[in-house]
Amino acid sequence: MNRALAVLAAVLLVSTSASAQTYPGSTTPGRIEISGGVVWIGGYEAGSRDATESANSSTGGAPLTLFTTSSRVSSATGFDARVAYFFGSRVAAEGLFQFSQPQLRVKTGDDFESATAATVVGTVSSYLFGGSLVYHFGSGRVVPFVHGGGGYLRMLDEDNADVTTGSEAHGGGGVKIWFGTGKSRLGVRADAQVSSRSKTPGFEDKRRMLGTVGAGVLYRF
Amino acid sequence: MTRRRLGAVVAGALLAAAVFSTDTLAYLKLGTRQGGQLITLKFNTLPVRYFVTNRDVPGVTASQLRDAAGRAFASWAGVPNVRLSSEFVGFTGANPLSGDGANVLGFVTRTDLDRVLGSTSFTVDTVTGGIVESDIFFNSLFSWSAASAGEPGRQDIESIALHEIGHMLGLGHSMVGETELVGTGRRVLGAEAIMFPIAFSAGVLNRVPRADDMAGMGDIYGTETFRSSTGSIAGRVTKNGTGVVGAHLVAFSPATGKLVAGFSLSQDGSFVIGGLEPGAFVLRAEPLDDGDASSFIESSVTIDADFKPAFYERLVTVPRGGTSRSVEIKVIPK
């Protein structure tokens, strides 16, 4: 904990000392940044399990397979919205809301009674409420950045019958490109990150690492 | 209700009261008809007090039958969130068919039922559905074993007692099992319910209630915790727009691997599968073809077995303490 605080303090000190460095002709931008955009979240295998029945065997033979299932969560496109407050020119604290609707697809097969193989589908609404610390490498027109943070996950099935909640941690980086030099300015943002989620749609109760990429529009004032 | 080695007609004549499988949740419960209403059979007073006939058969003494029955009762009472208890009262010279007001388990030789391993009979208060008396006989025509690991060529008494005591407590038959035709009867290939009507081969142990059995027992004797912690799937099975009667529905949880099943028993093809743990399920419909229909459903019901097994195309989410959205599985003729 102490080590984490020390690192954070160092970052803040650096940002403070750098906050006066703006590129020529530029006005110091405002401290608030809002953004919105689209996000793509990668898919993953979500477990496979067979529907089995105990075999009629005194030797403990293999169970009878009624049918097999293998599950996958498809990659999904969603949107996010962010609000950031700049403590200086380089460091900002950012609040995040992200929404996506991945599909959970279960393929059935090898049916004992020859039922036609099917893909059984369910849609999950996934909400992420989180926050990040963002460090910007410079304060010019093109600004690379890295960020890290965490959040709270809330997922509902398509009937809103079952709610799953969990925690999330993420880290990544990207670039912001500004179109103006005034205190208020527009820009665009592209980023990629790894998101570690304690709960995800699917049938395996384990933490997963998901890759996400996003792009959006920025307004700083 | 009977437990058969090979296919045989249910020995309805043994039943002291008209007993039907009711169109309730999941698995089938036993019920009796009062006027136009079906009333679920159950013991309204606990513990279930029972006697054991003081008669040995080769391989199983009366004491071993008492012990096996005690373990079987305990297995049912061990189903999570059910309120069940039993008490062995003592040995008796009475046969388990006597209608003397006492619940009796024991061996009887029934040469007229040479395919029936055991059977459960009832005397029922037809107003309340309360079981006044229930007796279980095990057919001593067969070779039996009480060995803890079972014995080749001998039926395991605890396995069969578990099934018959399931009936005694009010459960009907489950169809979570697969069979093949052998001569004039059927042989089990696999089953995932103690209450499957055809027994495993002699020497094979089957002593642990499965998810389907637990759902059924929970439906009859479940506590408020059971009802608030489980949910159900409701819907219809249709073919060419009309309801399918007698379709077997299997709900499978890819998360847990558990199978719980039920039937559509109404003319509109409606069904309810209850006692499910909350979560997402794959739902599959199949015709009733792994046993005699009369083993599951009262014979006055005409079932439709002319359709291909099929999966419902959406995952069905079961809420905690509630019922899923209504689903419709459309099947096509064979």
Amino acid at B255: A
pLDDT tens for B104-127 read: 999 999 999 888 899 999 888 877
DSSP-derived secondary structure letter, B322: S
Would you call A197 exposed, middle or buried from its count of C-beta atoms within 10 A (0-12, 13-18, 19+)? buried
Other residues' Cβ atoms within 10 Å of the Cβ of residue A10: 10
The residues, any chain, with a CB within 8 Å of residue B154's CB and separated by 6 or more, are B59, B143, B144, B145, B147, B202, B203
Nearest one of B224, B315, B100 to A161, comparing CA atoms = B315
Nearest one of A173, A176, A179, A162 to A89, comparing CA atoms = A176
What residues in B contact A69, CB-CB < 8 Å? 252, 254, 282
Confidence (pLDDT) at A25: 58
Confidence (pLDDT) at B9: 24
Distance CA B59, CA B79 (A): 29
- The pairing of beta strand B103-108 with beta strand B248-252: unpaired
Distance CA A80, CA A88 (A): 24
Maximum distance among all Cα pairs of chain B, rounded to whole angstroms: 58
Q: Is A122 on the interface with B (CB under 8 A)?
A: yes
Q: What is the mean pLDDT of chain B?
A: 87
pLDDT tens for B189-206 read: 999 999 998 999 999 999
**If you count them, how many residues does chain A have?**
221
Specify the 3-state DSSP secondary structure of B306. Answer: coil
Other residues' Cβ atoms within 10 Å of the Cβ of residue A199: 18
Top-confidence residue, A41 or B1: A41
Distance from CA of A162 to the nearest CA of B (A): 5
Confidence (pLDDT) at A58: 67
Q: Given a cut of 60, is residue B19 above it in pLDDT?
A: no
Nearest one of A59, A142, A218 to B200, comparing CA atoms = A59
- Per-window interface: A 158-197 vs B, CB < 8 A: 158-159, 161-162
Other residues' Cβ atoms within 10 Å of the Cβ of residue A78: 20
Distance CA A15, CA A133 (A): 12
Distance CA A123, CA A160 (A): 10
- Looking at chain A, list the stretches that DSSP marks H as alpha helix, in order from N- to C-terminal side: 2-18
- The pairing of beta strand B144-145 with beta strand B155-156: parallel
Other residues' Cβ atoms within 10 Å of the Cβ of residue B189: 16
Confidence (pLDDT) at B233: 96
Distance from CA of A128 to the nearest CA of B (A): 21
Distance CA A67, CA B255 (A): 15
* Residue B178 to residue A112, Cβ atoms within 8 A: yes
Distance CA B116, CA B113 (A): 5
- Looking at B157-299, list the stretches that DSSP marks H as alpha helix, in order from N- to C-terminal side: 157-168, 211-221, 224-229
pLDDT tens for A121-174 read: 999 999 999 999 999 998 889 999 999 999 999 999 998 888 999 999 999 999
Q: Which two tokens mark B37?
A: 């209403």
Distance CA A131, CA A94 (A): 5
Distance CA B123, CA B136 (A): 12
Q: Given a cut of 80, is residue B30 above it in pLDDT?
A: no
Q: Given a cut of 50, is residue B21 above it in pLDDT?
A: no
Q: Nearest-5° angle of CA B91, CA B96, CA B101?
A: 85
What residues in B contact A113, CB-CB < 8 Å? 178, 286, 309
- Per-window interface: A 89-118 vs B, CB < 8 A: 104, 106, 108, 111-116, 118
What residues in A contact B310, CB-CB < 8 Å? 115-116, 118
Going from the C-alpha of B316 to that of each of A144, B253, B323, the distances in angstroms are 45, 10, 10
Q: pLDDT-based confidence at A21, cuts 50/70/90?
A: very low
**Closest CB from B152, B178, B284 relative to A115:** B284
As a whole-number percent, the residues of chain B with pLDDT over 90 amount to 71
As a whole-number percent, the residues of chain A with pLDDT over 90 amount to 74
Distance from CA of A13 to the nearest CA of B (A): 49
Cis peptide before B47 (omega within 30 of 0): yes
ipTM: 0.89
Averaged pLDDT, B13-21: 33
What residues in A contact B309, CB-CB < 8 Å? 111, 113-115
Specify the 3-state DSSP secondary structure of A118. Answer: coil
Q: Given a cut of 60, is residue B232 above it in pLDDT?
A: yes
Other residues' Cβ atoms within 10 Å of the Cβ of residue B38: 19
Give rounded-to-5 percent helix, strand, coil for chain A: 10, 60, 30
Averaged pLDDT, B247-264: 95
Distance CA A89, CA B288 (A): 72
**Is the separation of the CB atoms in A152 and A129 below 8 Å?**
yes
**Dihedral angle sign, alpha carbons of residues B209, B212, B215, B219:** negative
Confidence (pLDDT) at B265: 84
Q: pLDDT-based confidence at B98, cuts 50/70/90?
A: low
Q: pLDDT-based confidence at B100, cuts 50/70/90?
A: confident
Specify the 3-state DSSP secondary structure of A170. Answer: strand
Confidence (pLDDT) at A61: 76
- B/e letters for A82-110, b = 16+ CB within 10 Å, e = fewer, are bbbebebbbbbebbbebebebbbbbebee
Q: What is the pTM of this model?
A: 0.87
As a whole-number percent, the residues of chain B with pLDDT over 70 amount to 87
Q: Given a cut of 70, is residue B15 above it in pLDDT?
A: no
Q: Which two tokens mark B276?
A: 């499910």
Averaged pLDDT, B295-299: 70
Nearest one of B182, B187, B214 to B84, comparing CA atoms = B214
Averaged pLDDT, A170-186: 93
Q: Given a cut of 80, is residue A7 above it in pLDDT?
A: no
Q: Which two tokens mark A191?
A: 């980023």
